Structures are given as structure tokens and as C-alpha cells.
Amino acid sequence: MRWSPRVAETVPLDSAWLKANPLPGHHDHVDKNGRGRVLVIGGCRRVPGGMLLTAEAAFRAGAGKVTIATIESAAIPIGVAFPACAVLALPETPGGEISPASAELILDEMADHDAILFGPAMIDQQIVRELLAAMLPSLPPEMFLLLDAFALRAAADHAEAIRARRDHVVLTPHEGELAGLLGLDREEVARDPASALAVAVERFGCTVMVKGATSHLMAGDTRLGYAGGGLGLAVSGSGDILAGLIASLGAQGLPPLQAAAWGIWLHGEAGRRLSEMMGPIGFLARELPPLVPGLMRGV
């Protein structure tokens, strides 16, 4: 082991913790803008549909508006497939990725949202790095920011900028992504994910999770653990759902630790219920979001 961080005692992420850290309330006369506005930036020609999973999860967790910013060839099909979403068609590279020339369009769009989710279904690491470098200095001061998937490796170049925004940022790696974020071997992280998580929190200062059979979440001196969900959640699109849940709750005003905790629990409990109904494997990521409103009501 190449580190010796201070590891906080793990607190179970259970209904007692959730009741002590409740969901945001909305008065009866709030409009859709007041319910939280989420901007999802991602997608590529190879994985154009992942944004639909993220957007549905965000709506099911209570967001009032969701905008998908993605490659222009996918924008109209996505808008037709999910009429509730606004779409922002971004310039596209010959390889089917969001072009770095999209930065100005993205920056113009950000101010009209309460939370930004960046990184899902993007593949070109250099383009992700360029876009994140353009976005970070221009984010409104209290904008909720979730970095997922390939954006996590790009985050390694911006530790100081993320620390400066630490009260508004969530990083959502699995063990392999956490290893890339810290420049470690995946096996090293797998042997002691809690210690690796503590290193990430020290380095970036923000809320960080490590997803797995047991998911760990940490911010400051608080570390939560959740061991539910089951094997069925290890399926394509599952992480896109989780990211959408967390971004939605952040857009509605929950601080990063609470938003991430509720997202982990809702995602895991939806997986548990599907496994009870259908069996331990074989359900699809898109079947998770419809269970979320009932789970939220039941706590």
C-alpha cells in the first residue's frame, strides 16, 4: 500500500441516516424551474442513447427540467424519443465525439441550470480534458457539478480548481476510475477502497464515492457505506442512472454528500426490488428509474 490516509469510521447508509438527512421539500405552487434544472453533457456516436437513461433518472428523482447537450447527429433522435427533454445539438468530430468547438455553446447554456452532469458516454479522453478545462473557470460559483466516467480522469488535471469548488462537486468513480484518478493500479484500490477514497477526498476536497458491491461515499470526516443493490446492477447503463439521480437531487438543493447518498440508496434499492421481482440478473438499467418515486415516498 502506497498511502497511509486517515480513514473515517464507516456509518451505514440506511433509512435512519436518510430520515436524518431528508429529501428537499417543494411547496405546492413551485413551477418546473423551481423543481431543479439539470444539464447533462455527454454522449458520442458509439453510445448515443445513454443520455436517455440519465435524463429519465433525473426526472424520476424529481427534477423539473432536463437538458441533454450531445452530438448533433443524436440530438434530434433523442429529443423525439424523450419529448420532455430539451436538447442542445453540439458540433461533432468526424469520429462522432462532441467537438472541442462546442465549449462556447456549453458555457452559454450552463447559467440556465442548477446542476451540471459532465462525462457520461464520452470516449475521447483528450476532448473531455479540453472541455472540462474550458468549463471549470466559467461555472457559476454555487453550481452543483457531477463528474462521471471519462470526466473523472480529466479531473486529475484540475485538483486545485475542484478543491476551490469542493462544497459543490461530486466525483462518482468505480474502482478502476478511482485508480485512474489517483494514478494507482486498480488492484491496489480494490484491496483497500476505503483508503483510496480517503486519499481522493484529501486531494480534491469534495464529495467522492467508489462504486462497487459495497459502495463507499466520503466528504470531509463523514464516510458512508452501502452494501445493497446486488449483482444485477453490474450492467451497462446502471452508472448513467446513478449519475442522473444524484444530479437531480443536487439541482433540487441537496448538498453533494446528501445528494450522492440518496442517489446511491435509491439506485441500490431499485436494484434490490427488481432482483426480488425478476431474479438476481437480467433486468435492464432502464427498468430502475420507474421505481424511484415510490422509494422516495417510502422513507
Residue 33 clears pLDDT 90, i.e. is over it:
no
- From residue 113, give the alpha-carbon distance in Å to each of 34, 39, 116, 138, 144: 11, 6, 7, 13, 9
pLDDT value at residue 241: 98
Instruction: Convert the pLDDT of each residue in 286-295 to its tens digit.
Output: 999 999 999 9
What confidence tier does 2 reach under pLDDT thresholds 50, 70, 90? low
pLDDT exceeds cutoff 70 at 1: no
Cell numbers standing for residue 181:
484518478
> Cβ neighbours of residue 273 under 8 Å, at least 6 residues apart?
291, 295
- Asked if residues 264 and 226 have their Cβ atoms less than 8 Å apart, the reply is yes
Burial of 121 (0-12, 13-18, 19+ CB in 10 A): buried
Kind plus residue range of the DSSP H or E element containing 110: helix 103-110
Burial of 65 (0-12, 13-18, 19+ CB in 10 A): buried
CA 39, 42, 48, 52 torsion-angle sign? negative
Tell me how far CA of residue 128 lies from CA of 25, 149, 196, in angstroms: 35, 10, 24
Distance CA 50, CA 78 (A): 10
pLDDT the model gives residue 7 = 65
Coil/strand/helix, residue 209: strand
The confidence band for 161, taking pLDDT boundaries of 50, 70 and 90, is: very high
- What's the confidence (pLDDT) of residue 223? 96
CA-to-CA separations, 29 to 32, 35, 251, in angstroms, rounded: 10, 10, 18
**Domain covering 35-298 assigned CATH 3.40.1190.20 in the classification:** yes
8 Å CB contact between 69 and 41: yes
* pTM (global) more than 0.75: yes
Mean pLDDT of the chain: 94
List the grid coordinates of 90: 453540439
d(CA 198, CA 208): 9
Nearest one of 3, 55, 48 to 286, comparing CA atoms:
55
Parse the chain into domains and list their residue ranges: 35-298
The answer, yes or no, to whether residue 3 has pLDDT greater than 70, is no
The pLDDT of residue 4 is: 53
Query: For 52-75, how does the pLDDT look when each residue is reduced to its tens digit (9 = 90+)?
Result: 999 999 999 999 999 999 999 999
Secondary structure, 3-state, 46-97: CCCCHHHHHHHHHHHCCCCEEEEEEEHHHHHHHHHHCCCCEEEEECECCCCC
* Residues 239-262: tens digit of each pLDDT: 999 999 999 999 999 999 999 999
Sign, CA dihedral 135-197-265-166, equals: negative
Q: Residue range 123-142: average pLDDT?
A: 94
Whole-angstrom distance, CA of residue 35 vs CA of residue 21: 19
Q: Region 200-213: what's the mean pLDDT?
A: 96
Q: Are 175 and 187 in contact (CB under 8 A)?
A: no
Cβ atoms of 186 and 175 within 8 Å: the answer is: yes
